[in-house]
Each structure stands twice: as structure tokens, then as C-alpha cells.
Amino acid sequence: MSDSLIGVSIASRSMAARDIVSLDLVSVDGALLPPFTPGAHIDLHLPGGLIRQYSLCNPSIETGSYRVAVLLDPETRGGSRAVHALSAGDRLFISAPRNHFPLVESSADIVLLGGGIGITPLLAMAYALYRESRSFTLHYCSRSSDRMAFREDLHTAPFADRVQLHFDDGDASQHFRAAEAMGSHVPGRYIYTCGPTGFLAHVLATAKTAGWPDEAVRYERFSADVDTHGGHFTIIAQRSGLSFTVGDDQTIAAALAANGIAVPLSCEQGVCGTCLTKVLEGVPDHRDLYLTDAERAANDSMTICCSRALTPTLVLDV
């Protein structure tokens, strides 16, 4: 097991809403956990070898524990089922927190728009913004009240007066109206949003229509949203001495495997970094959520489970 992994145990397990389990994780040796910033996520190394990524949703000043909330999703490949099967006292390994969805350091006002389980990173943000006496509002949308995680926590939070809850099955007066919720952009105002694909598409389209500039609209997609499709290109596997085509509907990892080159894979959704591979020539079309902007711009590594090529050929160190 890698040195960078952290051994934790489940201090408590509860149902935060229908089909949503909440786990509090503490270090097995009683040490403090590494600090995190709002918007950060961790990898959970689950029984059966699965590795999945979940946002931390507790206040980021709490270094004694991490809280994750996970929706049971029968459509996925087993990650959420494995999390729901965990019990208090179980031990597992996690990664240190990484943050691809950080809050800007200063702002005049922030609008947090969360749909469903997409509330998790926004909760940590709300706690931090309140603590720092910064201006914000939080809109939280759910299909129904029994599916809304942490509803009681939000009612009793010190920032409860800045929270608006919206239910699809409630009366029309409280339905989510994205344009109304976000208002108009002025310099220093930012939107942070996370939620299911349809919710996110609606928020982003509304923001564009309302004239919000792209850089003022920050969002986090669920990892399963990564699009791995695109035109075909050639891979030269330098160390293996092989060259072959990656088809339109094929990933580089799948093409490598089809040519007898085994590569380590985990999430297969561009979030964990397990498949990170050195690029020797060519320009990758980065589709992942793992690399930072600076790492992408360096053009010397790529996640081969989902990323593709911007040049006709990529030479990889495999």
C-alpha cells in the first residue's frame, strides 16, 4: 500500500436522506487528518479494489474527521453500493484531499447552486464563507424532501438565513428558478454549482443567457460525466515498440489492452490519476478531472482512461 494513503476508520455511519449515506472518517492512529480546503475530494479505496472519489462536506476547519455523503446509484459500477455496505468501525484507506474546485480567495458575493448529491462540496464552501464573513447564498434543489441530505443541519446552521431549499414535488412558489437565483453578474460575483448532468446543463445555459462570463461560473461535474469519445488517432507505444489506432469509441487504455499492453486502471473516469502516463510526443486532449491546469499545459502526461489526442499521433512511454 502506498505511503501516501491514509488509514481511516468509520467513526459513524448514518442515513443523511433516502438512499444517501453519510460517513465520518477518522485516522486509525488518532492523528489529525491532513487539512483540506472547501471543494476538495478524497479517494476512498473500497473493498473489492474499487477506488472512488467523494467531496468532503464537513467544515474545513475540522481536521479531526472527514465527512462524505454518497448516493446509492444502481446505474453505476458498484462504487456507491460498496460505500453503502460499509459499517461503523470498518477500516479503509483514503488519499489525501485534492481540490479541483477551489473557492476564489476574494469575492463580492458567491451564489452556490446545488442539485441533489451535488450539495456536498457546496456545504463545505458555505461553512467556510460564513466563517470568513463573506457574502453568499445557497440554493439547494432536490426531487423531494426525503431525498435532501443534511436538511436538519441546514435548518440549524448559523447561515440558515442564506439557504433556500427547492423541491421538485413541492408547490410552485418554491420551485428552483435558476435565473432568479443567480441574478446578474457584476465584477466580483461568482457562481459555484454542482449536481446531476441535467441540473448542471440548465444552470450553465441560464448563466450564459444572463450574460455571466465563463470565468465567473465555476462548476464540478460528477466523474461519470466525462466524455471519452472522439475521432480516431494513432498511438506509438515507445517501450513496447508497437503502433496502433485508437478507434472513435475506444479509449487509449482499451486500445493498449487490446494490443497486449497492461496498464493500471482504477476509476476509469479521469478522476483518480491511477492511469497517468508519460507523453513523449504529441498533444493530448485532456478530458480528465485529475490534472491541474499547469499539469495539462506541460503536455508531458495524460490520463489514458479518458483523454484523447489533439495531434494525429501520440507517443507514449509504455
Contact window for ligand FES (CB under 6 A) among 32-40, 125-133, 172-180, 273-281: 273-281
Smallest separation (angstroms) from ligand FES to the CB of 17? 28
> Could you give the strand order of the β-sheet that contains 163-167, starting from the edge strand earlier in sequence?
163-167, 136-142, 109-115, 189-194, 217-220
Least CB distance to ligand FES at residue 289 (A): 8
Candidates 82-90, 160-168, 214-222, 260-268: pick the segment binding ligand FES (CB under 6 A). 260-268
In angstroms, give the least distance from the CB of 77 to ligand FES: 12
Does 43 bind ligand FES (CB under 6 A)? Our answer is: no
Give the per-residue contact string, 63-102, with ligand FES (x = CB under 6 A; - = no). Answer: ----------------------------------------
295: left (phi over 0), alpha (psi -120 to 50) or beta: alpha
Tell me how far CA of residue 87 lies from CA of 56, 57, 81, in angstroms: 19, 19, 12
Q: By CB under 6 A, tell whether 265 contacts ligand FES.
A: yes
Which cell goes with 302?
495524460
Q: How many residues does the chain have?
A: 318
Closest CA to 124 of 141, 112, 107: 112
User: Is residue 165 within 8 Å of residue 192, measured between CB atoms?
Assistant: no
Q: Rounded distance, CA 154 to CA 62, Å?
A: 17
Find the shortest distance in angstroms from Cβ 276 to ligand FES. Answer: 7
Given 8, 57, 200, 267, the residue binding ligand FES (CB under 6 A): 267
Upper half-sphere CA count for residue 308 (Cβ side, 13 Å): 17
Stretch that binds ligand FES, among 102-110, 157-165, 178-186, 265-273 (CB under 6 A): 265-273
Instruction: Give the footprint of ligand FES on this chain (CB under 6 A).
Output: 265-268, 270-275, 288, 290, 303, 305
